[in-house]
A and B are shown apart, each in its own frame.
Chain A
Amino acid sequence: MSALQIKKGSSKHSAYNLRPTFSDVQESHTITVLVENEPGVLARVIGLFSGRGYNIDSLTVAEVDHEGHLSRITIVTTGTPQVIEQIKAQLGRIVSVRDVHDLTAEGSSVERELALMKVVGSGEKRVEALRLADIFRANVVDSTLESFIFQLTGAPDKIDAFADLMRPLGLVQVARTGVAALARGQS
Chain B
Amino acid sequence: MTRQMTGAKMVVQALKDQGVDTVFGYPGGAVLPIYDEIFQQNDIRHILVRHEQGAVHAAEGYARSTGKVGVALVTSGPGATNAVTGLTDALMDSVPIIVLSGQVPTFMIGSDAFQEADTVGITRPCTKHNWLVKDTANLSSVIHQAFHVAASGRPGPVLVDIPKDVQFASAEYTPKPKAPVGHYQPQVKGDMETITQLVEALENAERPVFYTGGGVINSGPAASQLLRELVDATGIPITSTLMGLGAYPASGKHWLGMLGMHGLYEANLAMHGCDLMINIGARFDDRITGRIDAFSPKSKKAHIDIDPSSINKVIKADMPIVGDVAHVLEDMLKVWKARGRKVNREALAKWWRQIAEWKQVDCLKYKNSETTIKPQYALERLEALTKGMDRYICTEVGQHQMWAAQFLGFEDPNRWMTSGGLGTMGYGTPSSIGVQVAHPDSLVVNVAGEASWLMNMQEMGTAVQYRLPVKQFILNNERLGMVRQWQQLLHGERYSSSWSEALPDFVKLAEAFGAKGILCKDPKDLDDAIMEMLNYDGPVIFDCLVEKHENCFPMIPSGEPHNKMLLGDVKATNAIAGKGAVLV
- A residues near B, CB below 8 A? 1, 3-7, 21-22, 36, 39-40, 43-44, 47, 51, 82, 85-86, 89-90, 92-96, 98
Contacts and interface: CB of A to CB of B under 8 A. Distances in A.
Interface in B154-195: 182-187, 191, 193-194
B322 A43 contact: no
A7 B320 contact: yes
Contacts of B316: 21-22, 82
Contacts of B309: 86, 89-90, 92-93
B184 A95 contact: yes
B169 to A, nearest CB: 19
23 contacts: A1-B183, A1-B187, A3-B187, A4-B322, A5-B191, A6-B308, A6-B311, A6-B322, A7-B191, A7-B193, A7-B194, A21-B312, A40-B121, A40-B124, A51-B125, A86-B309, A89-B313, A92-B308, A92-B309, A93-B309, A94-B129, A95-B128, A95-B129
Nearest to B130: A40
B158 to A, nearest CB: 9
Nearest to B193: A7
B312 A1 contact: no
A5 B189 CA distance: 12
Contact of B313 (A3, A44, A86, A98): A86
Interface residues of B, number: 27
B120 interface: yes
B132 interface: yes
A12 to B, nearest CB: 15
Interface in B188-209: 191, 193-194
Contacts of A94: 129
Contact of B312 (A5, A6, A39): A6
Contact of A40 (B120, B182, B186): B120
B149 A95 contact: yes
Contacts of A96: 129
A82 B125 CA distance: 22
Contact of B184 (A1, A40, A44, A47): A1
Contacts of A21: 312, 316
Contacts of B93: none
B225 to A, nearest CB: 27
Given A7-B320, A95-B149, A39 B308 contact: no
A90 B193 CA distance: 24
Contacts of B313: 86, 89
A90 B308 CA distance: 8
A51 B187 CA distance: 26
B450 interface: no
By Cβ-Cβ distance, the 10 closest A-B pairs, closest first, are A89-B309, A95-B129, A89-B308, A6-B320, A4-B308, A90-B309, A95-B184, A7-B191, A93-B309, A51-B125
Nearest to B154: A93
A96 to B, nearest CB: 7
A169 to B, nearest CB: 45
A86 to B, nearest CB: 6
B489 to A, nearest CB: 29
A44 B187 CA distance: 22
B312 A43 contact: no
B275 interface: no
A36 B145 CA distance: 15
A83 B121 CA distance: 26
A96 B153 CA distance: 14
